[in-house]
Amino acid sequence: MNTKIKLLNLELDNPIIPASGTYGFGYEFVKFYDINILGSISLKGTTIESRYGNPLPRIAECKAGMINAVGLQNPGIDAVLNEEIPKLSEVYHKWVIANVAGSTIEDYLECAKKFDACDKIGILEINVSCPNVKHGGLAFGQDETMLYELITKLKAVTTKSLFIKLSPNVSDIVSIAKTCEKAGADGLVLINTLLGMRIDLKTRKPIIHNKMGGFSGPAIKPVALRMVFQVYQATNLPIIGCGGIENASDVIEMMLAGASAVQVGSANLVDPYACQKIINDLPILMQELGINNLSDIIGGACDE
């Protein structure tokens, strides 16, 4: 069974990629298994300056998922380039994805310029769910004019492939995706977390300090599948699908919807062996379903 797939000119041994924010900087997982079995790794979201993140509590459990408002805690891009990536390179020998976040367009551009010089980085994953502090706090990914400007300016400062990670918290995901394509994006990642909350019955207050946070886990998979399906049919961009992936069956389903590769998120927090299990089970499921080459099924459910 051939599990190899391609993202543009980059080849992966399989489509399994731990999602940003659920796998640290990768090397933390070597105590569980050989992480070189992974297709790639999406690194923890990185900003220009170091960030502590949001006040505690940041996590709330819920049925079929979880809510988080970690707030992009990270050591800043210089520490990522000088400390975290060298540590990862000692134990992981493939290219990785750098997840870039910012509060202004200038923040994104500065991060992109610095990551551009790093050979370990194959793709820049641009998190556009961040609020633009210069324009009233509206997320970049919710305003097509801001999004177009951001992508065009990023294309001018980096040679890396730009994959835009889209928020599902919009009225028309297809329109947003088309804007990314027009602006010159090389690919898309979808979906980021939905917006949710939990309330403590004893205190009668929201559990999370920020009141609301990103809802992820198996409950959001139908939404993710629907959006990947729609965007695959509306654009010509490769898609990395994510949202509720827990097992090999979920991977096949996401690829049939149009994803070329798949990110595994919350499952890593529940079971540190999640990605290893999926990679081991994938060829077995492919054989059961009569799939010889995994890349052949991309968008299979979209055929009329």
What amino acid positions are annotated as catalytic residues? 130
Residue 56, SS3 per DSSP: coil
SS3 187: strand
Query: CA 203 from chain center: how many Å?
Result: 34
> For residue 24, what are the contacts with CB-CB under 8 A and spacing of at least 6?
44
188-202 CB burial, b ≥16 within 10 A, e <16? bbbbbbbebbbeeee
Residues 6+ away with beta carbon under 8 Å from 229: 257, 258, 301, 302
**Cα separation, 235 vs 22, whole angstroms:** 28
Query: Beta strands 161-165 and 187-190: pairing type?
Result: parallel
Contact 5, 294 (CB under 8 A): yes
Q: Do 240 and 261 touch, CB atoms closer than 8 A? A: yes
How far apart CA 150 and CA 112 sit, in angstroms, is 11
CA distances from residue 112 to 95, 191, 281 in whole angstroms, order as listed? 16, 22, 36
Residues 263, 240 contacting (CB under 8 angstroms): yes
